[in-house]
Structure 1
Amino acid sequence: MTPLPGLRGAWWLALPRTAANELEHHAPVVTRHPCGRPWVLGAPGPVTTAGAGAVRAVAIGELLAQEGEFAAALRAAAACGDFDALMGFPGSYTVLVSAPGRMLLYCDAAGLRPLYTARCAHGVVAGDRARLLAALAGAGLDEVWAAGRLCAPDVPSAIRTTRSPYRGVAPVPAGCRAVLGAEEPRARIARYWHPPAPVLPLEEGARRVRAALAEAVAGRARRSRDPVCVALSGGMDSAALAALAAEAVGPGRLRLVTLPSAASGDLPWAHKVAAHLGAPLEVLDDAPDLFAGLPGVLPTTDEPPPAAGAARIARLARAAGSGPHLNGQGGDEVVGVPLAHLRHLVRAPRRGFLRHLRGHAALHNTTSAALLRHALAPASPSRWARTAAAHLDTAPDALGAAMGWEAHPRLASWATLRARRLVAAALTHAPLNPWADLATHAALARIRTSAAAAATYRQAMAGIGGPEPAFPFLDRPVVEACLAVRPEARSDPWRAKPLLAAALRPLLPDPVLERSTKASYTTDVHQGWARHRSHLLGLLSEPHLAQAGLVNADRLHGALERWGAAGPAPAYVTGLVGLELWARSVLGEAVAC
């Protein structure tokens, strides 16, 4: 058999009952099917197992349940044959169920814990590492996925939810279950989770958000005797985690760590939060520039790691210690609301509608009338997909894009015609299947994009020997608590994150909760590029992506030679660097096949 690739950090592989026992000799057996055959292999990290007759279940990850609760839930689920309730506990985890004639696998609602299936010589197998399944299946690069990774600001969900980096390795989308039948050639995918209706007013919603987020933080902080480390940027999201951690275990067990930015303005706010909580703040002044140390500093990950910041992640990993490491990623997307909510607000106006309309018009440098016209324009999912596919080369109308079902994908000038055709075909041939109304679907698309980035960040931290970070904002109860609040209560053109501010009012000082500025790291990107420009241009002189027919090398070199503040958005350049170096280190010459 193909040797299993070397993996760092937590990983697991789930086998059908019919799989050959030889895999047992290549990885530790974590648990077995009720019949005794090997089921879950690997080093998955925290695991909770339970059995009920001929059924066995395992939860992998941060299951924040009391002892015995998971086993009781499994007994109730086995009695009725419906196992969806096993995903209802606090925390962030994956559930696998071995039942007579089938295996069920559940991906979390946000998509923070990736889940894949693939067919190989042992049958249909599942795991949390696409690279591992690709090795078992002998799979090569999926070029549609690679073309989608060239898009900015986000990979379209038509690609993200149906493709992995490897052909034949299929992702299980967030909020979905996969059922593997004993004789079935592939997994059957269905949604088990549905977002709540956004009906709660601000005050009630703030109470629920506070309770859910406090449980997410305290459940992790109290399970360890080591100090709790919080990556404190100075923004409201990380400040919230720091305040709730201090409330749970006291400031004496709290470690606040921050990476200074050249021009974000966050550092003074981080000092304010630390002083208010009475906890020490460690400023990592010796953190490297962006783009430093490439490519050697890059860890091996399933998807392209944040290459520009890889050296900074390594520095943070050394400072984080061995205790719980809390990260505020996902807060912007979970607590906030996309501008698309105005489409529903104009059709069912509530008190304060005109205030919202005028405020958002001012924020977007337009008139209320223009904003109203966009809010009333047709917006079917199929129309959005056709428009996106037809305008991959052009800058979208800013207001129209902001009110779409998802972020409007755009390819940089160096993407080839073939790459454009691959992305356009994916957009038009994989119909957008909304999760809810337009505003909720748009919010979920943002949340899941952030969760995918967080999952890769977690793999990167593990790949360099750091602790596994936790992302409490991406826990299902926190996501549900936020989505249950009326969009106009979560969004205020005159205040930042009114829902989170209301939830944290007793814990953080008003200046922190009322901060109106937003950090930007664009200056750091440009400064890092300027300092390492010659080295980076050398690294990209013979791109593997050009050999794969996805990038035009001449256009790429010309654009990067001239790149500066007036060129493409930094996301195109950082994404291109990450994708190229990932392809080179993980796939090597196979990329050109």
Structure 2
Amino acid sequence: MADASETSVSCGASWFVVLPDHERARALAGRLSARACRVLPHASGRPWLVGCWDETRMTVAGAGGVRLAVAGSCSLTAPELTARSRALRAAADAESVVAGVAGSFHLLASVDGEVYARGSLAGDRRLYRARIDGVTTVGDRARTLAWLTGRGPDPARLAACLVVPSLPYPLAHESVWRGVTTAPPGEALHLDADGSFRTARWWRPPSADLPLDDAAKGLRDALRAAVAARVSPGEVWGADLSGGMDSTSLCFLAAEAGARLVTVTLEWSAVGNEDAHYARRAAEHLPGVTRLTFPSAALPAHFADLGERRDPGDEPTVLLRDRAQQREVIRALVEHGARRRLSGYGGDHVVTPPPAYLHALLRRRPVTALRHAAAHRARGRWPLAATLRELLSRRPLAQWLAAQAGTLGPTGRGPEPECGWAPSMALPPWATGRARDLVSELLRHAADAGPEPSAADRGAHAWLHTARVAGTSAAHLAHWSAGAGLPVETPFCDDAVITAALRVRPDLAGHPARYKPLLAAAMSGIVPAPVLARTTKDHSGEEWLTGLSAQRRLLAAWADDSRLAALGLADTGALRRALLAPGLLNGGAAELEFSLGTEAWLRDLDDHPHPAHLKEHPSEPAESTSAAAP
């Protein structure tokens, strides 16, 4: 099957909609055609994929009644995808086509009128669905479907965006738009020819039973393949060389794959900051690397561009603080020839299990569990009674969600044990009673639905949830970075990498007395030993506080004209006090940044109500390709 990219040139936007093999879909495709560069048909000739994408980011193939598309970073070549497509007999078997394939991608298939679509395990590549013109329609951008339905954000979901540290499964990945639903990561959408749909799991967690060395080998192989799926020998790649273990590991794997690296190191102002030291130690073992080092004082301040309005993403994001800095970094990387960038984002979440592994460990090896629990208690200052209650609790997920709805309160209540199905939730002090009621109702509704955990025990469930929190932020990072001029890749969020990490016995990877033992073992012999032996993690707290303080006038204006307050979700006076005195916050940066991110997103939406990626193409109507097999 010919690729639409052979007959048309991408406009630079990136989006797609998946349509069922139904006659009503023609009218829906017609509504999008003036805004699309490409249309790919089902074997029937009806429209299947409509959108705009670069030919290097989507590989398509087909034979007979089969149509396949892989969108994103993938180790499969077009000829390999075509060869595999010939063995496909049913849409439900589409996963066989990408068995053993590295990368992060959407998998889309149309087989004799049945459609299969799924995103990535971490949720960095999502799918959304909506009922439009009588048929279930799927897209990779929630705003595309919201534009088609003509509906706006849901106040309850906006209230949920204020929750810290994160919403639990299954609420964490829901769309903020009325009438638009997210396909949960790990589940695929099946669109039938009659316009209906169903979901089914395409991934299940592996057994967590490997010793550290065996699991480390699997993680090393998965990370190496993830980087090699993106990097070709001789290509210039930007890369973060922060001095931390995650980004440094990717730099060495990219160099091994033949990339010409231009690395970035940021030097924060905190006394005793060690990032630059470890970055230099690593760079000594990376011959030929071009190093860019930026003292924080030489870059724009944190939140320097807070007053600038831009086209919003699909949902609010907390990634606000360093956007002005990163634009300067991106400019320098592009000037040095980089066309893409590697980021170690997600490593913290993927390679170390959260303390919820203690729950199952207590029932298998109680002495070991109690020793680990004592170490976690000392590190997190968990109250003894609360820790014991949580460890001994046998509440299923539904009951835990219902209990959270009843205890949802303000932040700053003191340390709590982190060994439940997910971290305990709280709302900031400026959240109104209406916001609390809306979030509590979401939690009760989720509990009443009787959700099935995403893994057999709460430890594995919590670890997978943590990886998906990283995937959500990786999606926000990718959206912003592409718009800023340099697409970013986050290999730690790849399906195969997460699966490999989950194979380890969690008590071997999660003890607080050891720093990232799984990744350290995986990178032994690749990354210099001093970097792998590092046990510290630096921060930009001084830059954060200074940057917010410099924005006092803007923040005061935001408080007086708050979009959150207008929706009844924030108390104006309490919000104003917090914004003008961020150093007095008890709960730290997260509670303020979640609210700032939601406020900024609503303001962006006011200024850009029409999605920028759905721009009209009056002189280049979408091209449709032939359905003929190759």
TM-score by length of structure 2 reads 0.86
Shift of 1:44: 2.6
Residue 540 (structure 1) aligned to one of 559, 569, 573:
559
After TM superposition, the structure 1 = structure 2 runs for residues 16-415 of structure 1, keeping only pairs within 5 Å, are 16-17=20-21, 18=23, 19=25, 20=27, 21-22=29-30, 23-45=32-54, 46-78=57-89, 81-88=92-99, 89-121=101-133, 123-161=135-173, 163-184=174-195, 187-222=197-232, 225-249=234-258, 253-263=260-270, 265-278=274-287, 279-285=289-295, 286-296=298-308, 298-305=310-317, 306-321=319-334, 322-349=338-365, 355-365=371-381, 371=387, 374-395=390-411, 401-415=417-431
Closer, same or farther in 2 for the Cα pair 1:284/1:378, shift >3 Å?
A: same
Unaligned runs of 5+ in 2: 1-9, 610-630
Q: Given residue 135 of structure 1, which amino acid in structure 2 is its aligned partner?
A: W
Matched, 1:551 2:570: yes
Please list the CA deviations of residues 477-521 of structure 1 after superposition, one character each: whole Å capped at 9, or x if unmatched: 111110011101112322200010011110122221111112233
Q: Which residue of 2 aligns with 1:3?
A: none
Shift of 1:441: 0.6
Q: Which residue of 2 aligns with 1:514?
A: 533
Please list the CA deviations of residues 304-353 of structure 1 after superposition, one character each: whole Å capped at 9, or x if unmatched: 24222221232232233343311111101110011011111111118955
Bigger mean CA deviation after superposition, 374-383 or 392-401:
392-401
Q: Secondary structure at the match of 2:605?
A: helix
Bigger mean CA deviation after superposition, 397-406 or 289-298:
397-406
Shift of 1:210: 0.6
Please list the CA deviations of residues 416-462 of structure 1 after superposition, one character each: whole Å capped at 9, or x if unmatched: 21111111111111134211111111011111111111101111112
Give the Cα–Cα distance (whole angstroms) in 2 for the partners of residues 406 and 557 of structure 1: 30
Give the Cα–Cα distance (whole angstroms) in 2 for the partners of residues 86 and 433 of structure 1: 28
TM-score by length of structure 1 reads 0.91
Shift of 1:522: 3.0
Q: Secondary structure at the match of 1:152?
A: coil
Bigger mean CA deviation after superposition, 359-368 or 577-586:
359-368
Give the Cα–Cα distance (whole angstroms) in 2 for the partners of residues 288 and 297 of structure 1: 17
Q: Given residue 213 of structure 1, which amino acid in structure 2 is its aligned partner?
A: L
Q: Secondary structure at the match of 1:347?
A: helix
Q: Secondary structure at the match of 1:583?
A: helix
**Alignment check: 8 A CA contact 2:207 2:503 kept:** yes
Give the Cα–Cα distance (whole angstroms) in 2 for the partners of residues 386 and 396 of structure 1: 22
**Alignment check: 8 A CA contact 2:19 2:138 kept:** yes
**Alignment check: 8 A CA contact 2:126 2:140 kept:** yes
Closer, same or farther in 2 for the Cα pair 1:176/1:80, shift >3 Å?
A: closer
**Alignment check: 8 A CA contact 1:294 1:307 kept:** yes
Give the Cα–Cα distance (whole angstroms) in 2 for the partners of residues 324 and 404 of structure 1: 38
Give the Cα–Cα distance (whole angstroms) in 2 for the partners of residues 589 and 241 of structure 1: 36
Q: Given residue 294 of structure 2, which amino acid in structure 1 is its aligned partner?
A: L
Q: CA RMSD in A?
A: 2.6
Q: Secondary structure at the match of 1:518?
A: coil
Across the two proteins, how many residue pairs are aligned to each other? Answer: 580
Give the Cα–Cα distance (whole angstroms) in 2 for the partners of residues 241 and 342 of structure 1: 30
**Alignment check: 8 A CA contact 2:412 2:587 kept:** no
Shift of 1:144: 1.9
Please list the CA deviations of residues 163-206 of structure 1 after superposition, one character each: whole Å capped at 9, or x if unmatched: 31210111111111012223345x32222110101011001111
Give the Cα–Cα distance (whole angstroms) in 2 for the partners of residues 482 and 294 of structure 1: 37
Q: Given residue 255 of structure 1, which amino acid in structure 2 is its aligned partner?
A: V
**Alignment check: 8 A CA contact 1:148 1:156 kept:** no
Matched, 1:454 2:458: no
Residue 426 (structure 1) aligned to one of 442, 450, 454:
442
Give the Cα–Cα distance (whole angstroms) in 2 for the partners of residues 302 and 354 of structure 1: 43
Bigger mean CA deviation after superposition, 358-367 or 39-48:
358-367
Closer, same or farther in 2 for the Cα pair 1:140/1:374, shift >3 Å?
A: closer
Closer, same or farther in 2 for the Cα pair 1:382/1:119, shift >3 Å?
A: closer
Shift of 1:355: 4.8
Matched, 1:10 2:23: no
Give the Cα–Cα distance (whole angstroms) in 2 for the partners of residues 415 and 337 of structure 1: 31
Shift of 1:302: 1.6
Shift of 1:225: 4.1
Give the Cα–Cα distance (whole angstroms) in 1 for the partners of residues 471 and 281 of structure 2: 28
**Alignment check: 8 A CA contact 1:357 1:368 kept:** no
Bigger mean CA deviation after superposition, 211-220 or 304-313:
304-313
**Alignment check: 8 A CA contact 1:325 1:468 kept:** yes
Shift of 1:401: 4.2
**Alignment check: 8 A CA contact 1:262 1:524 kept:** yes
Please list the CA deviations of residues 245-274 of structure 1 after superposition, one character each: whole Å capped at 9, or x if unmatched: 112216xx1111123323254222222222
Q: Secondary structure at the match of 1:234?
A: coil
Please list the CA deviations of residues 519-555 of structure 1 after superposition, one character each: whole Å capped at 9, or x if unmatched: 2333322121112222222233201122222222222
Give the Cα–Cα distance (whole angstroms) in 1 for the partners of residues 382 and 367 of structure 2: 22
Give the Cα–Cα distance (whole angstroms) in 1 for the partners of residues 68 and 293 of structure 2: 43
